[in-house]
Amino acid sequence: MKKFLFALVRATRVIRVVAWLNRRHVPIVCYHSVIADNHQLKSDPHKQHIPLRLFLQHLDYLQQYHHVVSLHEFQRACRENRPLPDHSVVLTFDDGFEDFATVAAPHLISRKMPATVFIITDRADQTLPPNGEKFLTWDEIRQLSAAGLDIGSHTCGHPRLTDLELQDVMRELSQSQAAVRVHTKQANVALSYPFGQTSAQISRMAQSAGYSCAIAADCGPNSDCVDLHALSRTVIASDDDVSTFAARVSGLTWWITRVRRLFRADDQQSWDRAFPRNYSSATAESFD
Q: Give the count of domains, the chain.
A: 2
pLDDT of residue 41: 82
Cα–Cα dist 184/72, whole Å: 15
- Return the higher-pLDDT residue of 71 and 43: 71
pLDDT of residue 53: 97
User: Is residue 249 over pLDDT 90?
Assistant: yes
Q: Are residues 167 and 114 in the same domain?
A: yes
Find the Cα–Cα–Cα–Cα dihedral 211, 217, 222, 228, rounded to 10°: -20
pLDDT digit string, tens, across residues 119-147: 999 999 999 999 999 999 999 999 999 99
Q: Are residues 123 and 218 in the same domain?
A: yes
Look up the CATH number of the domain holding residue 205: 3.20.20.370
Q: Are residues 91 and 47 in the same domain?
A: yes
Q: Are residues 167 and 226 in the same domain?
A: yes
Q: Are residues 47 and 178 in the same domain?
A: yes
Q: Are residues 155 and 168 in the same domain?
A: yes
pLDDT digit string, tens, across residues 44-97: 999 999 999 999 999 999 999 999 999 999 999 999 999 999 999 999 999 999
pLDDT bin (cut points 50, 70, 90) of residue 107 is: very high
User: Is residue 225 over pLDDT 90?
Assistant: no
Residue 103, helix vs strand vs coil: helix
User: Is residue 269 over pLDDT 60?
Assistant: no
Phi, psi dihedral angles at 206 (to 5 degrees): -65, -40
Q: 274 is in which domain, residue-wise?
A: 251-288
b vs e for 132-161, b when ≥16 Cβ sit within 10 Å of the residue's Cβ? eeebbbbebbeebbeeebbbbbbbbbbeeb
Highest mean pLDDT among 199-208, 222-231, 268-277: 199-208
Q: Are residues 178 and 137 in the same domain?
A: yes
pLDDT bin (cut points 50, 70, 90) of residue 281 is: very low
Q: Are residues 114 and 227 in the same domain?
A: yes
pLDDT of residue 96: 98
Q: Are residues 143 and 269 in the same domain?
A: no
pLDDT of residue 257: 82
pLDDT of residue 275: 42
Closest Cα to residue 25, out of 279, 191, 192, 251? 251
- Return the higher-pLDDT residue of 2 and 84: 84
Ranges 21-30, 128-137, 216-225: which has the least confidence: 216-225
Q: Are residues 202 and 279 in the same domain?
A: no
Q: pTM for this structure?
A: 0.90
User: Is residue 158 over pLDDT 90?
Assistant: yes
How many helices and strands, by DSSP H and E, does the chain display?
13, 10
Q: Are residues 177 and 276 in the same domain?
A: no
Report the chain's mean pLDDT, rounded to a whole number. Answer: 91
Q: Are residues 28 and 149 in the same domain?
A: yes
pLDDT of residue 93: 98
Q: If you average pLDDT over residues 169-181, what whole number do you get?
A: 98
